[in-house]
Structure 1
């Protein structure tokens, strides 16, 4: 049996990867792990690596954060292909996808509030499972607040290139999920699916914190007749208390004053080898080494890894 963690089945010229940060603050060590893993996987395969700014959730975006992220990536030696894509400038594409789903009755309007769903069961990713209140039509006297995708019964499966097989019955475990929110903003699930398809992304390499939402994206791809990329979910970096490094857990912004040292730390986290003289190597030399020696089989096959240097 082929080891899924070391199978590069797409030819070099066909590989398209991407890194898609949300500008809610500067990049931290956990962000670097995702950026580096996705970039090295693409470059080792001889493929393209795209950069997308996922700023569709405007209330969460911090002014100036996108510029800071770009400066951090450049200081660390990242180079991306093509133009930077901004989700906030792509509303018409998301509207078009939602219209296609409406035309095939795959979505429906929903009047439910968060308070009304407060007692609903939790899905694996911590979101509330929708009980189907508006599935057969809006209650009398209520107006639509959001649009939901209609799920179907049955177990969906995919094989993650690192984490192995993942399965879920979306209708039972998640329920119909939101594509257009009550505040008029498009949900992450729709935006990311449309963007990956329209950018021709073949491989999604990202943190395992998004593993539990992947089957929703695959189901949505199927409803829109989009191809499904291959997925590889890297272990998430946590602090020593087991909390994911994030703005909420006060993760430090990346130190870009010593870029080679910062990059070396992320390579160690991903289980990748370092040259014996890496401390004396230039940033460009370290990048060339990392691309040439990238090995999926060395990545820890875990969802999370505590990292004191984070």
Structure 2
């Protein structure tokens, strides 16, 4: 593959049927790749084993093919690669960049409430760092006792381990410095019920698959800050990013999987053609 080859990807989670918003994201990435003579990849992000279903994974492939999309190479299924994500976690842990967090969500909520004016990130109040100061002996004893824990990135140590400032590039815009600390704090990279987080898996997979242009909806733009940090920590290639607007329903709210009437399955059953659905997703066929 030429270094200049454009490689995009569409990476849905098989937790429900695809809707028009998914169609918009898939068509956005697919058309960029095809217009550039590049490659379009398909990945199933099924790390949440409690919510993902084989029937949804099968439906994704069927719905995309019906929509007129094709993809290059085999479909990458994240649940088949937990051993790879474990290696990444081990490498970060060996550098002292991870620590076990034994706090439950309820305990974190109580501590945040006690703080009062706690700092907030993109997903709500930032973790207050309760377990960051635990000594190694205490950590080892609690792990040995079978107490459940998550693995958090020590954000301060991680930022100290990479060149500063780090930059990312939104396509068509000047590079900008990343600042993940106020957005994510000591973010969770693995849990007992999810062996690796979305952020770790997606960044690893983009590197492994040679993705050169990450395309996704604008609401995920803040994730660039954390993903760029992980790329620097692991020595992974740095892609460019391009974001598209959110597709919204008649009520003005962004589409979600609960919007059953706008799933590709429902539209297909209602007699809509692939061309009509592509147009509804914002990609009418060229005359």
Q: Report the TM-score when normalising by structure 1.
A: 0.76
1:209/1:196 Cα in 2 relative to 1: closer, same or farther (>3 Å)? same
Matched with 1:263 is: 278
Matched, 1:117 2:108: yes
SS in 2 for 1:51: strand
How much is the aligned-residue C-alpha RMSD, in angstroms?
Answer: 2.6
Displacement of 1:156 in angstroms is 5.4
Instruction: Report if aligned partners of 1:110, 1:148 keep a CA contact under 8 Å in 2.
Output: yes
Note closer, same or farther for the CA distance 1:44–1:216 as it changes in structure 2 (3 Å cut): same
Decide which moves more: 39-48 or 151-160: 151-160
Aligned residues: 262
Counterpart-to-counterpart distance in 1, 2:216 and 2:13: 13
Pairing 1:146–2:156 present: no
Is the alpha carbon distance of 1:128 and 1:76 closer, same or farther for their aligned partners in structure 2, counting shifts above 3 Å? same
Runs of 4+ aligned structure 1 residues displaced above 4 Å come to: 138-144, 153-157, 162-168
Aligned-pair distance for 1:165? 6.6
Distance 1:165 1:33 in 2: 26
1:215 matched to 2:225? The reply is: yes
Deviations 1:6-51 (A, max 9, x none): xxxxx78522111101011111000001000001111111111110
Match of 1:91 in 2: 82
How high is the TM-score relative to the length of structure 2?
Answer: 0.82
C-alpha distance in 2, partners of 1:213/1:145? 24
Indicate conservation of the 8 Å contact 2:121/2:182, yes or no.
Answer: no
Q: Residue 129 in 1 paired to residue 144 in 2?
A: no
Equivalent-residue separation in structure 1 for 2:4 and 2:250 (angstroms): 41
Going from structure 1 to structure 2, the CA distance change for 1:275 and 1:45 (only over 3 Å counts) comes to: closer
Asked if the contact 1:245–1:251 (Cα under 8 Å) also holds between the matched residues in 2, the reply is no
Structure 2 CA distance, aligned partners of 1:21 and 1:163?
26
Conserved 8 A contact 1:25-1:65 = yes
- In structure 1, C-alpha distance between the alignment counterparts of 2:257 and 2:129, rounded to whole Å: 34
In 1, Cα distance between the equivalents of 2:40 and 2:5?
Answer: 11
Return the alpha-carbon distance in structure 2 between the equivalents of residues 250 and 122 of structure 1: 33
CA distance in 1, matches of 2:23, 2:173: 20
Equivalent-residue separation in structure 2 for 1:164 and 1:267 (angstroms): 27
Paired residue for 1:192?
202
Q: How does 1:242-253 map to 2 (within 5 A)?
A: 242-250=252-260, 252-253=262-263
Q: Map Cα deviations across residues 37-67 of structure 1 (whole Å, 9 max, x no partner).
A: 0011111111111100110111121340011
1:21 corresponds, among 2, 12, 15, to: 12
Distance in 2 of aligned mates of 1:203 and 1:65: 26
Aligned residue number for residue 79 of structure 1: 70
Aligned in 2, Cα 1:112/1:162: closer, same or farther, shift over 3 Å? Answer: farther
Query: Which ranges of structure 1 fall in alignment gaps of 5 or more residues?
Result: 1-10, 277-310
CA contact (8 A) 1:29 1:245 kept: yes
Q: Which residue of 2 aligns with 1:239?
A: 249
Residue 170, structure 1, aligned to residue 172, structure 2: no
For the residues of structure 2 that align with 1:93 and 1:177, how far apart are their CA atoms? 20
The structural deviation recorded for 1:170 is 2.3
Contact 1:12–1:45 under 8 Å retained in 2? no
Residues 138-180 of structure 1: CA distance to partner in whole angstroms, max 9, x if unpaired? Answer: 6687546011112136775533226877665322342111111
- The structure with more helix, counted as a fraction of residues: 2
* Secondary structure at the counterpart of residue 262 of structure 2: coil
